[in-house]
Amino acid sequence: MISIRNLHKSFGKVEVLRGVNIEVAQGEVVVIVGPSGSGKSTVLRCINKLEEPTSGTILVDNFDIMDKSTDINMVRTEATMVFQHFNLFPHMTVLENVTLGPMKVRGMGRQDAQKIGRSLLAKVGLADKDSNYPDQLSGGQKQRVAIARALALQPKAILFDEPTSALDPELVGEVLEVMKQLAVEGMTMVVVTHEMGFAQEVADRVLFIDEGVVQVDKPPREFFTNPEHPRLKDFLGRVVC
């Protein structure tokens, strides 16, 4: 589904990614962890081409995103992003946030888009909020709207960049619950998070990124119970499991 090969990314002289390789199969949930500044967000942003990779290959649904002939807007809808700070459109109602993509990108009619939008809002538990504006919602509700907005595109994969990091602790659960549901339904997901519980419970594989490369790539059981890698041991020691 997503295939990252030998991805390099530099900001000016600083090389943040130094040959990242990640394969994500259809329906797989891959969790990425790593210290702050290790380049986790950069990997996701490269998949979405919000950052231009310096070198390497990224295939999304077999489309080479570095290839000039690839319709990048289409690829972005196939692997869309959920952001740490939600990035909802504040001038639109919740329903409009969700229907914008289907209408403008997928060319869907308003009626159909709203029907899908409403059902997705119901799915994330916000059926009654469709005509509210984003700043009338709590952080957890906002992030669930953002997930509905992503789902409305009927993507093949969703990239989550620390979706719960900006939330008050008591609101984290409701978002993780929705994400678990998606995982159960077979959505392909790449999740950058510090929620180790989520990784243990939901992930098919957990990746540890450090010093610009994937240091560890293992199923969660092994990843957490037997962290041989010294820096991973150190990292896991510092985060609460």
Partner 1 sequence: MAFNFEPAVIVESIPQLLKGAELTIYLTVGGLFFGFILGALFGLMKLSPSWPVRKIAGFYIETIRGTPMLVQAMFLYFGLPMAFGFRLPAMVAGVIIIAVNSGAYIAEIVRGAVQSINTGQMEAGRSIGLNALQTMRYIIWPQAFRRMLPPLGNQFIISLKDTSLLMIIGVGELLRTGDEIVAVNFRAFEVYLACGLIYLTMTMSIAKVLKIVEKRMKIEGR
Ligand X SMILES: Nc1ncnc2c1ncn2[C@@H]1O[C@H](COP(=O)(O)OP(=O)(O)OP(=O)(O)O)[C@@H](O)[C@H]1O
What does the binding site for partner 1 look like in residue numbers (CB under 8 A)? 48, 50, 73-74, 76-77, 80-81, 83, 85, 87-92, 100-101, 104-105, 133-136, 149-150, 153
User: Which tokens in the block code for residue 76?
Assistant: 């972005």
Residue 99: phi, psi to the nearest 5? -90, -15
> Assign residue 216 a region: left if phi > 0, alpha if psi is -120 to 50, beta otherwise?
beta
Residues 107, 182, 20, CA angle at the centre, nearest 5°? 90
118 alpha-carbon distance from chain centroid: 22
| Given 4, 20, 33, 40, the residue binding ligand X (CB under 6 A) | 40
| Given 2, 16, 31, 75, the residue binding ligand X (CB under 6 A) | 16
Contacts of 44 (CB under 8 A, 6+ apart): 32, 81, 159, 161, 190, 192
Amino acid at 195: E
Per-position x/- string for 17-46, each x denoting binding to Mg ion as judged by CB under 5 A, each - no binding: ------------------------x-----
Q: Give the residue from 58, 63, 82 showing the smallest Cα distance to 3.
A: 58
Residues within window 118-137 making contact with ligand X, judged by CB under 6 A: none
CA–CA distance, 197 with 201 (Å, rounded to integer)? 6
Nearest distance from C-beta of residue 151 to partner 1, angstroms? 11
37 binds ligand X (CB under 6 A): yes
16 binds, among partner 1, ligand X, Mg ion, none (CB under 5 to 8 A by kind): ligand X
193 binds Mg ion (CB under 5 A): no
Nearest distance from C-beta of residue 159 to ligand X, angstroms? 12
Q: Residue 193: helix, strand or coil by DSSP?
A: coil
38 binds ligand X (CB under 6 A): yes
Question: What's the half-sphere exposure (Cβ side, CA atoms, 13 Å) at 188?
Answer: 17
42 binds, among ligand X, Mg ion, partner 1, none (CB under 5 to 8 A by kind): ligand X
135 binds, among partner 1, ligand X, Mg ion, none (CB under 5 to 8 A by kind): partner 1
Helices H / strands E in the chain, number of each: 9, 10
Interacting span for ligand X (CB under 6 A) from 32-40, 93-101, 108-116, 198-206: 32-40
Measured from the CB atom, is 114 or 143 closer to ligand X?
143
Q: Give the residue from 141, 133, 129, 151 showing the smallest Cα distance to 81.
A: 151
Which residues bind to ligand X, rule: CB under 6 A? Answer: 11, 16, 34, 36-42
Binding site for Mg ion (CB under 5 A): 41
